């Protein structure tokens, strides 16, 4: 993909001058205009562009908010309130940033499930996938620290609970966990010192994410995009140039996404947050239920499902880090779940598991909620550690089409509206779709 011939032509004298010194226009042309994209991409492939928008939107609104925000114990809460009340359009910018965090996660989770369904983590896209996992981790850290900044009750107690998780390391080396927690807090409890460093890191992390995103896109443009068939691009006919085709489609999806985004910004600015965060932080009063933001709920459920504190913390971190290993845990040579009759069921079971864990994470840890959380936590890990390796071996995949073009156009070139309609058995499938020879 990256090796496709450059079609860039420097037209003006200035463009030629630049092209010989820093061919940035050539790179942009080759990578984002003429770049070949599989012609059968569906709308699930538009979330990359949407996520890029989300990151930039968060950075822009965040920079404006930081101009009015005051990261001190006494003034943080009031400064956010002041932004909403008195800063020109502050109510809108603050809402865009807070809702934007949620929308960022909506998009990233859909992006990840897309990757899981179509096997986008398999060879030769392992590094691409792993960079994505690191982006997710950095996003989570940024979101967690950002949620601390309004310094409301849920901010304060969320920080207290989550930073305290590290004290579980005392079970390994007595005193180590406590020492780490004290170091994180910059004191012996969560204070304005903690808030100030969180603000510093919250401003730093988006730029770390930006760097990782550049690597992620680079890796993508080396391996090329996966596609709903999971087949490799073989001929030029399998692709269309990114501009205008993919760009146009991305624009449609972005604007549709913005409708949902704006719906929350303007009509439901508080819906995704917690009412307790409109109460200033008070170290003396614990809220009745401490719950994280919705996008952390599945992981929170996993944390609480494990009876032992240290093991719970390990399980929570493992639930994300395990994603790093799935390129090798999945033994199937077929990328797209579309051709995997057995795995398909397990995939949707996994989706239900994640939703159920999210629901349970919002519930108090008592009674049957705990049992259910344990059952779903078991399946969460079993999906990666048992289902992925075993189903890949047991399953006989459906017949694959010979090429992307055939999948789109049908075998004799007659038009098919939907790409599910092939598979009507001609010849042998185009071999293993996961390019195992490259592993």
Partner 1 sequence: MLRHTKTLSALAVGAAIFATPVALTPAFAAGGYDQVIEKVDWSFGGITGQYDKTQLRRGFQVFQNVCASCHGLSRVAFRSLSQPGGPEFTEEGVKALVAEWPHQVTAGPNDEGEMFQRQPLPTDPIVGPWKNEKEARAFNNGAYPLDLSLIARARTYSKDEPFWVQVPNMVKHIATGYEQKGHDYLYSLLIGYKEAPADFNLGEGLSYNISYPGKQIAMVQPIPEGGAVEYGEDAGAPNTMEQQSKDVVAFLAWAADPHLNTRKATGWQVMIYLLITTALLYIGKQRLWARVKKQPA
Sole binder of partner 1 in the list 161, 314, 385, 390 (CB under 8 A): 161
Q: Which is nearer to partner 1, 255 or 345 (CB)?
A: 255
The two three-digit tokens of residue 355, written as one number = 């939703």
Sole binder of partner 1 in the list 26, 197, 309, 399 (CB under 8 A): 309
242 within 8 A of 33, measured Cβ to Cβ: yes
The two three-digit tokens of residue 434, written as one number = 């996961």
Closest alpha carbon to 145 in 78, 76, 210, 79: 76
Work out whether 92 is an interface residue with partner 1 (CB under 8 A): yes
Binding to partner 1 (CB under 8 A): which residues in 223-242? 236-237, 239-241
DSSP annotation string for 376-388 = HHHHHHHIIIIIH
Work out whether 16 is an interface residue with partner 1 (CB under 8 A): no
Closest separation between CB of residue 126 and partner 1, Å? 29
Work out whether 211 is an interface residue with partner 1 (CB under 8 A): no
DSSP-derived 3-state class of residue 79? helix
What's the rounded Cα separation, in Å, for the pair 374 and 305?
5
**Neighbouring residues of 414: CB distance < 8 A, sequence distance ≥ 6:** none
Q: Which is nearer to partner 1, 22 or 426 (CB)?
A: 426
Q: Which is nearer to partner 1, 211 or 244 (CB)?
A: 244
**Binding residues for partner 1, how many (CB under 8 A)?**
62
DSSP annotation string for 285-300 = ---SS----GGGHHHH
The two three-digit tokens of residue 305, written as one number = 């499902």
Q: Which stretch binds partner 1 (CB under 8 A): 16-24, 83-91, 196-204, 426-434?
A: 83-91
**Neighbouring residues of 438: CB distance < 8 A, sequence distance ≥ 6:** 123, 124
State the virtual CA torsion across 68, 185, 192, 86 in degrees, nearest 10: 30
Closest alpha carbon to 389 in 346, 431, 437: 346
Work out whether 258 is an interface residue with partner 1 (CB under 8 A): yes
Q: Which is nearer to partner 1, 127 or 140 (CB)?
A: 140
Closest separation between CB of residue 386 and partner 1, Å? 27
Q: Which is nearer to partner 1, 12 or 88 (CB)?
A: 88
Q: Which stretch binds partner 1 (CB under 8 A): 4-12, 200-208, 283-291, 325-333?
A: 283-291
What's the rounded Cα separation, in Å, for the pair 315 and 299?
9
The two three-digit tokens of residue 218, written as one number = 């680079």
Work out whether 352 is an interface residue with partner 1 (CB under 8 A): no
Binding to partner 1 (CB under 8 A): which residues in 366-405? 366, 405
Q: Which stretch binds partner 1 (CB under 8 A): 7-15, 23-31, 133-141, 407-415?
A: 407-415
Q: Would the CA dihedral through 191, 147, 216, 334 be positive or negative?
A: positive
Footprint on this chain of partner 1 (rule: CB under 8 A): 39, 78, 81, 84-85, 91-92, 95, 157, 160-161, 164, 189, 236-237, 239-241, 244-245, 248-249, 251-252, 255-256, 258-259, 262-263, 265-271, 275-276, 278-279, 283-291, 303-304, 309, 359, 364-366, 405, 408-409, 413, 415
């Amino acid at each position: 993909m990256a090796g496709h011939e450059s079609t860039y032509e420097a037209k003006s004298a200035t463009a030629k001058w630049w092209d010989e010194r820093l061919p940035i226009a050539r790179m942009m042309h080759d990578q984002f205009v003429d770049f070949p994209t599989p012609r059968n991409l569906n709308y699930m492939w538009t979330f990359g562009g949407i996520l890029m928008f989300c990151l930039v939107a968060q950075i822009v609104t965040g920079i404006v908010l930081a101009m009015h925000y005051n990261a001190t114990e006494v003034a943080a809460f009031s400064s956010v309130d002041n932004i909403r009340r008195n800063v020109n359009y502050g109510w809108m910018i603050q809402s865009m940033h807070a809702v934007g965090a949620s929308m960022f996660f909506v998009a990233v989770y859909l992006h990840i499930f897309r990757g899981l369904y179509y096997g986008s983590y398999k060879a030769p896209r392992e590094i691409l996938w792993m960079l994505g996992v690191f982006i997710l981790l950095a996003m989570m850290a940024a979101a967690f620290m950002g949620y601390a900044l309004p310094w409301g009750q849920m901010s304060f107690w969320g920080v207290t609970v989550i930073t305290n998780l590290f004290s579980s390391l005392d079970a390994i080396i007595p005193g180590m966990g406590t020492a780490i927690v004290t170091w994180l807090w910059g004191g012996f409890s969560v204070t304005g010192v903690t808030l100030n460093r969180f603000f510093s890191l919250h401003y730093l992390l988006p730029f770390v994410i930006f760097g990782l995103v550049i690597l992620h896109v680079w890796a993508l443009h080396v391996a090329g995009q996966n596609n709903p068939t999971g087949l490799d691009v073989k001929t030029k006919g399998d692709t269309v140039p990114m501009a205008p085709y993919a760009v146009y489609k991305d624009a449609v999806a972005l604007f549709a996404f913005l409708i949902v985004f704006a719906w929350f910004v303007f009509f439901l600015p508080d819906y995704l947050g917690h009412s307790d965060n409109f109460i200033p932080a008070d170290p003396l009063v614990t809220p009745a239920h401490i719950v994280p933001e919705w996008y952390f709920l599945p992981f929170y459920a996993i944390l609480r499902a494990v009876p032992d504190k240290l093991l719970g913390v390990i399980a929570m971190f493992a639930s994300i880090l395990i994603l790093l290993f799935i390129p090798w845990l999945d033994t199937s040579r077929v990328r797209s779940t579309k051709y995997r009759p057995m795995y398909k069921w397990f995939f949707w079971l996994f989706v239900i598991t994640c939703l159920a864990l999210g629901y349970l994470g919002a519930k108090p840890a008592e009674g049957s909620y705990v049992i259910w959380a344990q059952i779903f936590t078991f399946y969460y890990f079993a999906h990666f550690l048992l289902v992925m390796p075993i189903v890949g071996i047991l399953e006989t995949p459906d017949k694959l089409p010979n090429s992307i073009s055939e999948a789109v156009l049908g075998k004799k070139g007659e038009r098919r509206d939907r790409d599910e309609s092939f598979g009507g058995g001609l010849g042998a499938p185009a071999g293993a779709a996961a390019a195992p020879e490259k592993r």
